[in-house]
Structure 1
């Protein structure tokens, strides 16, 4: 794999310099640390697909970053596209030594870690939309600035992909509901700084979770996710598998990472998978 450093042509947009792969490696790939390798490529179809294809030959902690993704994917096979060097497009390989039934917490864990790391480094608040979207506020309006996709890979691995819009301008947004850290008033959009913050935060949260044998309560993950989740307390519509729709108030996230929705009849239903729409904000 090749670094993103080199050709002067890559500096054609001075607001979007390339990532410094060698500096990132020195800062993040440390003895006894989680991250075991870090590669930056100019362009690829999907960092998740590339890393998943090598999951059995790579150790835990491999990191792959692309300056541009041509076939980036989100949940429900949605595409994720953005101009080159306008965001963070990164995938990591994890091989958690915790019970498999708790692996469903990994995308939520990544959301907590990314929101905390980016909030600190960018100087702008981020919140979470269940299960795996990162939200910012642009002129008081909630917009999606990032997403997470976790996929089983190889015999014992999970590849987690994170895409974050960093410097996208209004005329570059793929849809009106999208946002970016820059549009949200970030005090820093330096992608090297932001990537270091995200990966260090992810290493801390993942380490705590693994040491707690994947227990979301004991590791503090469930509490942190609940505190940062903008979906809770909102009226939501859940488009569920089998073309079923559920409406009600999102009241919690249970021990399995499912969204608990209070229904009109007075009961509750736990949603494990589905497309969630925030119908309105709580007064």
Structure 2
């Protein structure tokens, strides 16, 4: 007997009716539509039309604008094909409950609300666009609509709170496996939670945990990956340090298949950790360790600590050998190459 799959599609309430009307007007015409025509249809100024077009571009709509000719809709966002995801994950712990948003503040925030309300382990929250996505240390995570993978999963592990952070390592290893089964990109992991291709960041993990005393109630694993983002779509300040899988391999990547493969890899790695502990995930992390034997600077509350990264210990802490040969362990901190 086939297990039932719950898929909830949530339409954005952030896109105004006027923006929807702009898209409808552009869809109606195979050519250019002047800003004057759009402003007359909507009863707004041409400057307001321009602002709506600019906002729509951020949402993944490719709108060409030429002075004195107007605007032309060239392409709409390519959305995830949820039936492909559900088919590939059928029978998986991550194949039973999905919530799909075309636009959301943050998948992690939504997943936390669902977890608090009792949503089952394995629930997957997916978004095409995040308006307030964030990464570790509160840094903002940006991705053009329809170009990356932005999702969070709910876990309810039988772990003490002191070991919950190890699921970051499990998730990073699983994401790397999933990417490598779908693409030619070789993925390394920069402690504690970044996915690197070459010397540039392609994705990251954000773990959030809730529990009482020494019992974990739930864990949210948020994963963001630059999949088909073009160089020009990257924020200017990240163009030297970030990369997408398409940029790395030269080929577009099927995001639906990639998401399913990562979810399947995460299930395997998670169940392994639950049953046998974290040894296998630690071993694979060490094989993929981007920082190993490199000179690093670790920013702590007391200031910067400089030394050579020598790996991670069995608790997932970063090991840094200082100039006088003493090895220091770091459970947190912002790490950069020195």
TM-score (norm. length: structure 1): 0.88
Match of 2:314 among 234, 255, 259: 255
| Equivalent position of 2:260 in the other structure | 196
1:64 Cα deviation after fit: 0.5
Q: 3-state SS of the aligned residue for 1:178?
A: coil
| Equivalent position of 1:266 in the other structure | 325
CA contact (8 A) 1:123 1:187 kept: no
Larger deviation: 8-17 or 83-92? 8-17
| Equivalent position of 1:2 in the other structure | 9
CA contact (8 A) 2:227 2:253 kept: yes
CA contact (8 A) 1:124 1:186 kept: no
CA contact (8 A) 1:29 1:38 kept: no
- The alignment status of 1:152 with 2:212, answered yes or no, reads no
| Equivalent position of 1:224 in the other structure | 284
1:252 Cα deviation after fit: 1.6
- The alignment status of 1:117 with 2:174, answered yes or no, reads no
Q: 3-state SS of the aligned residue for 1:106?
A: helix
| Equivalent position of 1:27 in the other structure | 88
**Distance (whole Å) between structure 1 residues aligned to residue 195 and residue 135 of structure 2:** 12
| Unmatched tracts of structure 1, length 5 or more | none
> Deviation string for 1:60-86 (max 9, x for gaps)?
110011011110010010001111011
| Equivalent position of 2:187 in the other structure | 126
| Unmatched tracts of structure 2, length 5 or more | 1-7, 12-22, 28-58, 63-74
Judged with a 3 Å threshold, the aligned counterparts in structure 2 of structure 1 residues 2 and 34 are, in CA distance, closer, same or farther, namely closer
Larger deviation: 147-156 or 245-254? 147-156
CA contact (8 A) 2:182 2:258 kept: yes
| Equivalent position of 1:143 in the other structure | 200
- The alignment status of 1:179 with 2:186, answered yes or no, reads no
| Equivalent position of 1:205 in the other structure | 269
Structure with the greater alpha carbon radius of gyration: 2
Judged with a 3 Å threshold, the aligned counterparts in structure 2 of structure 1 residues 272 and 97 are, in CA distance, closer, same or farther, namely same
| Equivalent position of 1:98 in the other structure | 159
**Distance (whole Å) between structure 2 residues aligned to residue 234 and residue 260 of structure 1:** 11
